[in-house]
Amino acid sequence: MAVDIPKSFEALPTSSPRHIGRGRRRVEDPALLTGRTQFVDDVELPRMLHCAILRSPFAHAKITEVDTREAESLPGVVAIVTGDDALRWSHPAQSSPEGWGTHCLATDAVRYVGEPVAAVAAVNRYVAEDAIELITVEYDPLDAVTDPVAAMAPDSTLVHAGQGTNVMMDRVFTWGEVDQAFEAADHVVSEKFRWNRMGANPTETFGCICEWDPLDLSLTIRGSIQSPSMFGLGRAATFALPSNKVNIISQPHGGSFGGKGGTRGTDVTCLLSRKADGRPVKWIEDRIEYLTAGGSQAWDRHYQASISVRQDGTVTGLRVGLIDDLGATGEAYGAICAAKPLAAFTGPYTIPVAEYDLKLVATNKVPSGPYRGMGPPPHFFVLEQLMDLAARRLGMDPAEFRRKNFIPNEAFPYTIPSGNEYDSGNYEEVLNQALALADYPALRSAQAEARQEGRLVGIGVASAIEPGVFDWNAYAIVGMPGTGVPEGATVSIDIMGFITVRVGFSLEGQGQYTLISQLVSDYFGTDPEMVRVVYLDTQSAPPSFGPGGSRLGVAITGAVLGACDRIRTKACRVVAALMQTEPENIVLHDGLFGIPGVPEAQMSVSDVAGTMLARSDLLPPDVDPRPEATHVWTAPGRTPADEEGRAKSYLTAAQAVHVVQVEIDRETGFVEIQRYCLADDCGTRLNPATVEGQTDGSVAQGIGAALLEEYSFDEDGQPQTTTFMDYLMPTVYEIPKVEKVAVVTPSPFTPLGAKGCGEGAIHTTPAAVLCAINDALAPIGQMAREVPAAPKRLWELIRAAGDTPEDGLI
C-alpha cells in the first residue's frame, strides 16, 4: 500500500490548517507545572532498594583488594557488588571504536577518577552511602596520562596495557585534490585551537530503576532514558540476554541534550538487582557523581586547521587535524562526535576539497560522550575563526567574505566533499536578514568610535549548518554499523471519534506530544484536545529511536502522517463500500469522508470509525476492521558510507547566521555580550513557538560553551570542577536578549518540508561569540584560540599585547 505523506501544509486534507504551523500551548505543561509528571526519582516500587556507588579516587591504579565484609554487616544493606560480580555476570561495554569498553565495575584497574569499583543496595540512599564508606579498597597507584598528545608518544603510560597503545584510531580522510588546492592558493591561513571539555548537564541527572527477574531471566529498566531501544540493545549485549528479554520504560526526563549517560550506572544497578534476588533497585546519580564521572563530558579537542584562499576571496580547500581526547574508554560514544562533522564538514561554503586528519586518543579521564550538536560546534568554531583570519588577511568584511563563499540557491541539492548532501537553502537571504536585524553598518560605525577610545569592542558574524535527521551511516568511520533509523507511531480512532497516538519515546522538553496532537487534529479535522499521546515501553512500542541527532520532529511527523494516511486509505474503502462506489471516489476533507460535491454522501471520521468497530459485517471482507494504523518512517535515500566515510547521511541541512557584538573589559578580561541577533532557516516551522524555545535554549548553551563551561583536571587526572560552584552554567544574568528572524526554505525531502532543528543554535553561537571576541582583540594583535574564552585567558592575551591600545593589526 503506497503511503502518501504530505510535503507541505497545503497537501494536508484540510482547507486550512488550524493547528500545525502555529505556536500552541503544550499538552505536556499542566502536569509539569503542578508537579505531577513522574520523573524517575518520583517512582516508588514495592520492596525497592537504593543504590550508592563507590568510586575510584585515583585516575589510574591497580586494584589489589576489595573488602566488603564490614559493609555487608551494616543493618539495611541487602546486596553488594564488585568487579567479581561484573566478571561473572556481564560483558565489557560495547564501544566506539570497537574493543575499547570495560566492565561496569573495575575488575583489575581503575582508569579515571570516579570509575565505579563497588556498589551497595540498601533500604534507602542514606544507608547505602553509609555502607560504601565501610568498603575498603587497596589501590596501587599508577602514573596517569591526561594529555592526549603525550598519550600518543610511544613511551607513554598505557591506559589499557593490553591495547599496546593509547591511540584508538588514526586516519586521514582526503576528499579531492587537497594538496593541489593548497599549493595553488594565494593565501593559506593556519591556526591551532583548543576546545576544552564541557557538556550537557541537564538539570535532572541520570536515574534508573532496574529489576532482574531471576525466573524469567529478563530485565526491566525504568529510567530517564533518551533512546530506549538503543539502550535496551546495549543492556542485552552487556548481560548476554536475548533482546526481547530487556524491557525499557523511559520516564519523562528533565532535559538530556545527549548527555544523560547512565549506561554504566544502569549496568551496576542491574547487577545489584540480580544479587538482591530480583528486588527493584533505584540509582539516582547525584550531581557530584554526574560532574565527576557522568555522561556529559564532551569535546576535549586539540585542532590544527588551515584553509587555502584565492586573492579574490574564494576558499579553495580546508584541512582539519583533530586530536580528540576520548578519555579512558569508548563506551560513551564520544567518537561519533568526531565523525559527525563529516555531515557538514565545509559548513555553508562551496569549499570544493577537504581533508580530515583524525586521531582518537585514550587518557585517564572520564569517557567522553555526546552533547547537543554532537561534534560540529567545535568544528565550526575552528572553521569560522579561519574564515575571519582569511577575511582580515584579504582586507574583506567578514560578512561579505562569507557571502562570496556561500553555496548558491541554485546549487541545491548540494553534495559536500565529505559526501553528505544538503537539501535546500537560501543562505544569502539568511545573511541579509541577520545583518538587517542587527543594523550591521551602524554596529560597525559604533565599533569604530569605541576603538578610537581604546575600547575592545568586537563584532562577530558567523554562519553554520545544523545537519538534521541523523543516520548511522554518518558515523561509519568510527565503526557504527548500518543505515536507517526508524520512528514509528500507531494512530487509533475509537468508537467516539477520540484519537490515541502511541509512540516509543518519552517527554524530554521539546514538545513533541503537542506536535503530534497538532498534526493529527489537522489531518482528521478534530480538536487537538481529542488527541491523546501515549508512551509505550520498548516491548510494546512501534519501532522507535527517539530524540537525537535533530531528527524527532521530522521523523515523528512522517510516522504520524503516514499512519493517518494508512487509516485514510482503509476508511476510504469502507466508506466506498457503504456508499456503493469505488474507493477512488472517496475523499477525506476537513474531517469528512465522502464524495466531493455531494453533501448527503459525507460521513464524519467518528462515524466511519464507529462503523468499522461495531459493524464489521458491513465492511469489505479484506479490510482490517480497526480504524488504526502504524507507520514507521525512516529517512529516504540514505546510502552506505564508502571507504572515505562519504555517504548521504543527515537528511536536512538547516542554516543560520548570528551577529554578535561584545565588549571585553581591558583590565579584567570579562566579556559582555551587548547585542545578539540571528537569522535561521530550518525549513517549515511545525510549531514556531517550539522552534523559538529550542533556539533560545541552544544560544544559552552556546554562550555557556563560549565563555563559562569547562571540566578541568589537574596533572594527576583529578577533576577540579565537581560542583556547580565550579562548573559554571549560565544564569539569567549571563544571557543577553536574543533578537531573531526566520527565513523559511522548505526541505524538498521531508514531511511538510520541515528540517531538523532541535540542536540548533549551539552550532553557530560559540563560533559567533569567538569571532566577536577575536574581532575585539584584533587591534591589539591578539587572538583567542581556546574555548571557553574565560576571563583569565583573555586577560593573559591582553597583557601579552602590552598596554598600548593602538599598536596592532587593522
Partner 1 sequence: MALCSIQVNVNGTNYQSVVEPRLSLADFLRHELGLTGTHVGCEHGVCGICNVLVDGRSVRACLLLAVQVDGQSVETVEGLAEGEKLHPIQQAFMDEQGLQCGFCTPGFIMSLKELLDCNPSPSEDEIKDVLGGSICRCTGYAGILRAVQSAVAKMGGGQPSSAD
Partner 2 sequence: MKPAPFEYAAPPTLDEALAILSENDPDEVKILAGGQSLMPLLNMRLARPELLLDLTRIDELGGVRALDSAVSIGALATKRDVEDSSLVRDRNPLFMESTVMIGHPQIRNRGTVGGSMVQADPAAEYPAVAVALGAELVARGPGGERVIEADDFFITYLTTSLEPGEILTEVRVPDLPAGTGWSIQEVARRHGDFAIVGAVAMLRLESGVCVDPRIVIFGASDRARRHPEAEALLAGERPSAALFESAGQAVAQSLEDPTDDVHASADYRRDLARVLCARTLSEAMERAEGSGA
Residue 311 sits in the site that holds ligand FES (CB under 6 A): no
- Asked if residue 255 binds ligand FES (CB under 6 A), the reply is yes
Do 512 and 558 contact (CB within 8 A), yes or no?
Answer: no
As a whole number of angstroms, the distance between CA 117 and CA 119 comes to: 7
Applying CB under 8 A, the site for partner 1 has a residue count of 58
Q: Is residue 317 helix, strand or coil?
A: strand
Tell me how far the alpha carbon of residue 555 is from its chain's centroid: 15
Give least dist CB 545 to partner 1, A: 19
Among 130, 388, 565, 663, binds partner 2 (CB under 8 A): 130
Of the residues 150, 236, 237, 728, which one makes contact with partner 2 according to CB under 8 A: 728
DSSP state of 314: -
Is residue 687 within 8 A of residue 746, CB to CB? The reply is no
Task: Check if the beta carbon of residue 163 is closer than 8 Å to that of residue 145.
Answer: no
Please choose which of partner 2, ligand FES, partner 1, none residue 15 contacts, taking the beta carbon within 5 to 8 angstroms, the exact cut-off set by kind.
none
The answer to the question of residue 73 lying near partner 2 (CB under 8 A) is no
By CB under 6 A, the count of residues binding ligand FES is 4
Contact mark string toward partner 2, 730..759, x via CB under 8 A: xx-xx-------------------------
Select 23 or 781, whichever has its Cβ closest to ligand FES.
Answer: 23
Q: Give the footprint of partner 2 on residues 457-496 (CB under 8 A).
A: none
Q: Give residues with Cβ within 8 angstroms of 286, minimum separation 6.
A: 205
Q: Which residues lie across from 632 on neighbouring strands?
A: 488
- Whole-number minimum distance, CB 75 to partner 2, in Å? 12
CA angle 296, 297, 300 (to 5 degrees): 150
The residue assigned the cell 544507608 is 127
CB 671 → partner 2: shortest distance, Å? 11
Answer for which of 8, 64, 415, 668 binds partner 2 (CB under 8 A) is: 668
Interface with partner 2 (CB under 8 A), residue from 18, 125, 393, 455: 125
Residue 562, interface with ligand FES (CB under 6 A)? no
| Site map 282..301 versus partner 1, x via CB under 8 A | ----xxx-------------
35 contributes a contact to partner 1 by CB under 8 A: yes
Q: At what angle do helices 765-777 and 376-394 cross, to 10 degrees?
A: 30
* CA dist., res. 177 & res. 179, Å (int): 6
Part of the chain binding partner 2 (CB under 8 A), chosen from 128-136, 138-146, 223-231, 638-646: 128-136
Overall residue count recorded for the chain in this entry: 810
Report if residue 396 touches partner 2, rule: CB under 8 A: no
Q: Decide which of partner 1, partner 2, ligand FES, none touches 609; Cβ closer than 5 to 8 Å per partner kind.
A: none
**3-state secondary structure at position 47:** coil
Residues in region 94-133 near partner 1 by CB under 8 A: 124, 126
Q: Is 725 in the site for partner 1 (CB under 8 A)?
A: yes
Q: Does 129 bind partner 2 (CB under 8 A)?
A: yes
Per DSSP, 198 falls in state B
Question: What DSSP line would sit under 359-393, residue for residue?
Answer: EEEE-SSPPP---TTSSHHHHHHHHHHHHHHHHHH
* CA dist., res. 332 & res. 478, Å (int): 13
Residue 204 Cβ, how far from partner 1 at the closest point, in Å?
Answer: 5
Quick one: CA torsion of 159, 165, 169, 174, rounded to 10 degrees? 140
Radius of gyration of the chain (CA): 28
Which residues inside 181-210 make contact with partner 1, applying CB under 8 A? 200-205
Closest CA to 535 of 558, 500, 505, 513: 505
Alpha-helical segments (H) within 133-223: 148-151, 178-184
Determine phi and psi for 618, rounding to 5 degrees.
-90, -10
Which residue, 415 or 712, is less far from partner 2 as judged by CB? 712
Residue whose entry in the numeric block shows the C-alpha cell 577575511 = 391
CA atoms within 13 A on the CB side of 469: 34
Which one, 287 or 455, has the nearer CB to partner 1? Answer: 287
Q: How far apart are CA 269 and CA 275, in angstroms?
A: 10
User: How far is Cα 745 from Cα 423, in angstroms, rounded to an integer?
Assistant: 10
What 3-state class would DSSP assign to 659? strand
**Considering only residues 67, 428, 429, 696, which one is a binding residue for partner 1 as defined by CB under 8 A?**
696
Residue 731 interacts with ligand FES (CB under 6 A): yes or no: no
Q: How many alpha carbons lie under 13 Å from residue 292 in its C-beta half-sphere?
A: 20
DSSP state of 539: T
| Contact present, 604 and 591 (Cβ < 8 Å) | yes
Residues 408-427 binding partner 1 (CB under 8 A) are none
Site string for partner 2, 584-623 (x = CB under 8 A): ----------------------------------------
Q: Which is nearer to ligand FES, 29 or 529 (CB)?
A: 29
What letter would DSSP give residue 704?
I
Q: Does 203 interact with ligand FES (rule: CB under 6 A)?
A: yes
Binding segment toward partner 1, per CB under 8 A, in 142-150, 232-240, 697-705, 743-751: 697-705
Q: Which stretch binds partner 2 (CB under 8 A): 11-19, 126-134, 143-151, 404-412?
A: 126-134
Residues 763-792 that bind partner 2 (CB under 8 A): 790-792
Question: What is the 3 state secondary structure string of 234-285?
Answer: HHHHHCCCCHHHEEEEECCCCCCCCCCCCHHHHHHHHHHHHHCCCCCEEEEC
Q: For the CB of residue 706, give the shortest distance to partner 2 in the complex, in Å.
A: 13
Applying CB under 8 A, does 133 fall inside the site for partner 2? yes
34 binds ligand FES (CB under 6 A): no
Instruction: Please report, as residue ranges, which positions from 490 to 549 form the binding site for ligand FES (by CB under 6 A).
Output: 509
Q: In which element (H, E) is residue 603 found?
A: strand 602-604
DSSP secondary structure letter of residue 707: I
C-beta of 288 vs 587, nearer to partner 1: 288
- Is 553 a binding residue for partner 1 by CB under 8 A? The answer is no
Query: By CB under 8 A, what part of segment 280-339 binds partner 2?
Result: 286-288
Task: Name 306's Cβ contacts closer than 8 Å, sequence gap at least 6.
Answer: 182, 188, 189, 190, 191, 318, 319, 386
The site for partner 2 (CB under 8 A) is made up of: 125-126, 129-130, 133, 286-288, 667-670, 708, 710, 712, 720-721, 723, 725-726, 728, 730-731, 733-734, 790-792, 795-796, 799
Q: Which residues bind to ligand FES, rule: CB under 6 A?
A: 203, 254-255, 509
Which residues make up the interface to partner 1 (CB under 8 A)? 23, 25-26, 28-30, 32-39, 41-42, 44, 124, 126, 200-205, 252-255, 257, 286-288, 507-511, 689-690, 692-693, 696-701, 723-725, 729, 731-733, 735, 737-738
